[in-house]
């Protein structure tokens, strides 16, 4: 059983930075969830910087503790988790980077371990989904985001953080009939962009609709949509209002608070998750308190809590 360093025996400001002070190891034996970084921002279209996201999230995660009272679950202790380090990337070469991330994630999935990736810009999600789909088939996507990422091209080219979900659908990685995009808001390029999610057969929950729902209502909607099949959460940090998470490449005002975001995430119990990621943290745009990295670390903690609740209820 892999667990964090005991904060009552070694102060949180000591030791090499890993996520939640978990052991850094590449082993997959006896592991339930492998957390890893994807330091890449070659797919950004405005503000770069998410290559430094994994490092910042790890530092912000030092305050996490083993028991989650909001979910009434012992996270570390019920789950054996490791920080597996960072996947390889090739600065300036997006298709090569995506291929190397896929190769990195593949053995994690094949070992029956749940991969949890820290981005990195959103373009990296297709690499994770390709690896997962080879083992589990097309998955239900639950996407927390202010953008659909369904555009066909940017600058005449197919790979970008704004085209990732369209490529993943085309590759057969996403079961659109079981998928949900939530939190979408902000201006787009044309009227047809508003209908893009529905046109691919996914449930569209823009922020103006989601803001009127309770977390319980949202959880019920997602569970009914996803069913019993495998599911993947992709959480773009720009889902949150930039007053709570300013350190991201394409911020969109008018979104949820950090409390609301965590509550919507906590509502997703009872789903068979086979992977997660948190993307688009660009820490150089944060304040001295690094609030975006802090909320990203807690989002990951809630993802781990969903796994822990699932195992507890088996």
**Nearest to 239, CA basis, from 151, 306, 143, 162:** 143
Collapsing DSSP states into helix, strand and coil, what is residue 176? helix
- Residues ≥6 apart with Cβ < 8 Å to 171: 126, 129, 130, 133
- Please enumerate in sequence order all residues whose Cβ is within 8 A of that of 69, keeping only pairs 6 or more positions apart, or say none: none
59 CB burial (10 A radius; 0-12, 13-18, 19+):
middle
Superfamily for 19-312? Ureohydrolase domain (3.40.800.10)
Predicted pLDDT at 154: 85
Ordered by start, the domain boundaries in the chain are 19-312
Give pLDDT, residue 155: 86
pLDDT < 70 positions in the chain: none
Q: Give how far the C-alpha of residue 79 lies from the chain's centroid of Cα atoms, to the nearest Å.
A: 18
Please state whether the predicted TM-score (pTM) of the whole model is above 0.75.
yes
CA gap 175, 169 in Å, rounded: 8
**What is the model's pLDDT at position 298?**
98
Gap between the Cα atoms of 98 and 165, Å rounded: 14
Sign of CA dihedral 227, 233, 238, 242: positive
Q: How far is CA 261 from its chain centroid? A: 13
**50-100: per-residue pLDDT in tens?**
999 999 999 999 999 999 999 999 999 899 999 999 999 999 999 999 999
What is the DSSP pairing of strand 114-119 with strand 272-279? parallel
Q: How far is CA 229 from the centre of its chain?
A: 19
Write down the pLDDT at residue 215: 98
pLDDT score at 164 = 95
Burial class of residue 205, CB neighbours in 10 A (0-12, 13-18, 19+): buried
User: What is the number of residues in the chain?
Assistant: 314
């Amino acid at each position: 059983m892999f667990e964090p360093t005991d904060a009552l025996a070694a102060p949180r400001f000591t030791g090499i930075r890993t996520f939640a002070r978990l052991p850094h190891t590449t082993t997959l034996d006896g592991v339930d969830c492998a957390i890893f970084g994807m330091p890449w921002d070659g797919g950004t279209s405005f503000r770069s910087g998410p290559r430094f996201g994994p490092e910042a999230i790890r530092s912000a995660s030092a305050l996490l503790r083993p028991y989650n009272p909001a979910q009434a679950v012992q996270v570390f202790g019920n789950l054996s988790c490791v920080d597996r380090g960072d996947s390889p990337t090739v600065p300036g070469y997006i298709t090569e980077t995506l291929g190397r991330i896929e190769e990195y994630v593949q053995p994690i999935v094949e070992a029956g371990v749940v991969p949890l990736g820290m981005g990195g810009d959103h373009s990296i999600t297709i690499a994770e989904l390709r690896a997962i789909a080879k083992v589990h088939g097309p998955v239900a996507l639950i996407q927390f985001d202010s953008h659909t990422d369904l555009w066909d091209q940017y600058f005449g080219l197919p790979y970008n953080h704004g085209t990732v979900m369209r490529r993943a659908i085309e590759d057969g990685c996403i079961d659109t009939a079981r998928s949900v995009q939530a939190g979408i808001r902000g201006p787009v390029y044309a009227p047809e962009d508003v209908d893009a999610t529905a046109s691919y057969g996914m449930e569209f929950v823009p922020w103006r609709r989601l803001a009127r729902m309770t977390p319980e209502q949202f959880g019920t909607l997602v569970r009914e949509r996803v069913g019993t099949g495998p599911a993947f959460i992709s959480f773009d940090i720009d889902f949150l209002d930039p007053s709570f998470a300013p350190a991201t490449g394409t911020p969109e005002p008018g979104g949820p608070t950090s409390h609301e975001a965590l509550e919507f995430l906590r509502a997703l119990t009872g789903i068979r998750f086979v992977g997660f990621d948190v993307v688009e943290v660009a820490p150089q745009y944060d304040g001295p308190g690094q609030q975006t990295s802090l909320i990203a670390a807690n989002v990951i903690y809630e993802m781990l809590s969903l796994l822990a609740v699932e195992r507890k209820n088996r």
